[in-house]
Structure 1
Amino acid sequence: MVSQRRTLTRAGLSLSIQVSGPLDPASVPVVLVHGMGGDRTTWRPLASKLRKAGRTVVSFDMRGHGRTGPAESYLLDDFRDDLSAVVDDLGAERVDLVGHSLGAHTALRFAISTPQRARRIVLEEVPPIPRDAADLAEEVTPSATLGERIRGIGSLVANPGPFLRFDRALGDPVMSAFAIAEPAWWCSLQQVTAPTLVVSGGRRSFLPPRHLRDLAYALPSGDFLTIEAGHSVHRDRRDEFTEVVLAHLS
């Protein structure tokens, strides 16, 4: 077994990475990519189950989060390029990817740009780029149900690190990027060859499930699943989400 923390420096940024699990050069690592406002510690329960299933697990703090710290630029492709650097640093030819929210979008951008390096993908509550004026006219505002707020407070008390280290400056550039229609981005989904499971949090989420369903079916090997939980499925329906991830990645 291997368990190590390391730092990868690129473009003036020090990416904080955690690698754990069986030391098997022939295996395909699972890379976990957290959402906005989180950090790699939010994946601990899932990472533990993956390790018990014999998988090598890699998680890292994205720019503006956790121990990686703030960055000068927060373009969506910056997050993708950081993920690419992490995968390069692993020395693995292919990886499995599990991402949540902004992390899911980052994983998808990685799979679009380098499809040969993604073996299987799980995208939890992935925000798609608007397709057209009709999508832009449907205002989507991040929000949370009362239950999510209560569970979020509980998570904050138990693990305040992600909240304290989160760079609030990244909110505006990221949200602005999701407010521009890019029909070409939808065409680029055809480049993703990996079997991809898109998980929606259902009607409780601020992301309309139909948009995630459209994204799933725009992928050559996409599938769609709803787990009624709101935006943080891996937190609020942990066992069910873990079971789905293990099944898809196997």
Structure 2
Amino acid sequence: MTLSGPLDGTVPVILVHGMGGDRSTWRPLARELRGRGRTVASFDLRGHGLTGRSDSYLLDDFRDDLGAVVDHLGAHKVDLVGHSLGAHTALRYAMAQPDRVRRMVLEEVPPMPRDDHDLAEAIAPSATLGERIRGVGALVRNPGPFLRFDRALGGPVTDAFAVVEPDWWCALSRVTAPTLVVSGGQRSFLPPRHLRDVAYALPAGDFMTIDAGHSVHRDRPREFVGATVAHLDV
């Protein structure tokens, strides 16, 4: 885990990366938040980066790992920023521990399927051809996340999103944190209407589109950082 910024009792911001990435993906945002006086923590999810491989990659495992980081910080409340699988992880944590989350930004958060129609759209953390092409530059600049990523987790995560879970949608009502849901627009594999539905199902949800594809924070960093900073009220 990487922790930086002043430990002065302010609400820490925890950054949760997506599948196939690691904590280094957040450097521009972390730098901006630190410059504004925030304590920032980022970590590698299990099976990623410098975190060891696991024999279990359930969605709730990732949630519990995030919970361990929150507990380690010893903060009563935290702000969460997550991308893709990391956003889904943050949302699961906020469902389970609503009193521990002050505000959230969820970038390209994949929802659980509500019914067979959703299931047919195969909404799961993945990458389209265009996304892969846009990611080549990032891979060349920083091959570490790709090289250290445990390919064994792809199957369990994808399989988890192939199960209809209407109760997951009902549980969104438990999230009390004001939450900004960021869609990458039509270039993303995640249909924006589903992310809009997530935002509007949250008691204090808001929705915005930054037309960048699935990795908004990587491909449109200035807009993403600006929206995140504004939402976290930094």
Give TM-score, length-normalised by structure 1.
0.91
Match of 1:23? 7
**Larger proportion of strand:** 1
Report sequence identity in percent: 72
Conserved in 2, the CA contact under 8 Å of 1:69 and 1:165?
no
Match of 1:208? 191
Aligned residue type for 2:6 = P
Shift of residue 145 of structure 1?
A: 4.8
Match of 2:26? 43
> Matched residue of 2:69: which SS?
helix
Aligned residue type for 1:106 = T
Match of 2:97? 114
1:120-168 deviation per Cα after TM superposition (whole angstroms, max 9, x unaligned): 000000000000111112234733354x434311111111110010000
Match of 1:153? 136
Return 5+ residue gaps in structure 2 as ranges.
none
1:221-246 deviation per Cα after TM superposition (whole angstroms, max 9, x unaligned): 00100000000000000000000000
Match of 1:134? 117
How many residues in Structure 1 have an aligned counterpart in Structure 2? 232
- Alpha-carbon distance between aligned partners in 2 of 1:52 and 1:67, rounded to the nearest angstrom: 26
- Alpha-carbon distance between aligned partners in 2 of 1:230 and 1:52, rounded to the nearest angstrom: 28
Q: Does 1:249 align with 2:226?
A: no
Aligned residue type for 1:94 = K
Conserved in 1, the CA contact under 8 Å of 2:13 and 2:40?
yes
How has the CA–CA distance of structure 1 residues 139 and 87 changed in structure 2, closer, same or farther, with 3 Å as cutoff?
closer
- Alpha-carbon distance between aligned partners in 2 of 1:183 and 1:34, rounded to the nearest angstrom: 25
For 2:50, which of 41, 56, 67 is the aligned residue?
67
> Matched residue of 2:81: which SS?
strand
Q: Does 1:96 align with 2:89?
A: no
Match of 2:157? 174
Match of 1:144? 128
> Matched residue of 2:4: which SS?
strand
Conserved in 1, the CA contact under 8 Å of 2:173 and 2:201?
yes
1:79-106 deviation per Cα after TM superposition (whole angstroms, max 9, x unaligned): 0000000000000000000000000000
> Matched residue of 2:11: which SS?
coil
Conserved in 2, the CA contact under 8 Å of 1:34 and 1:43?
yes
Match of 2:59? 76
1:160-180 deviation per Cα after TM superposition (whole angstroms, max 9, x unaligned): 110010000000000000010
> Matched residue of 2:180: which SS?
strand
- Alpha-carbon distance between aligned partners in 2 of 1:63 and 1:237, rounded to the nearest angstrom: 27
Match of 2:35? 52
> Matched residue of 2:225: which SS?
helix
Aligned residue type for 1:43 = W
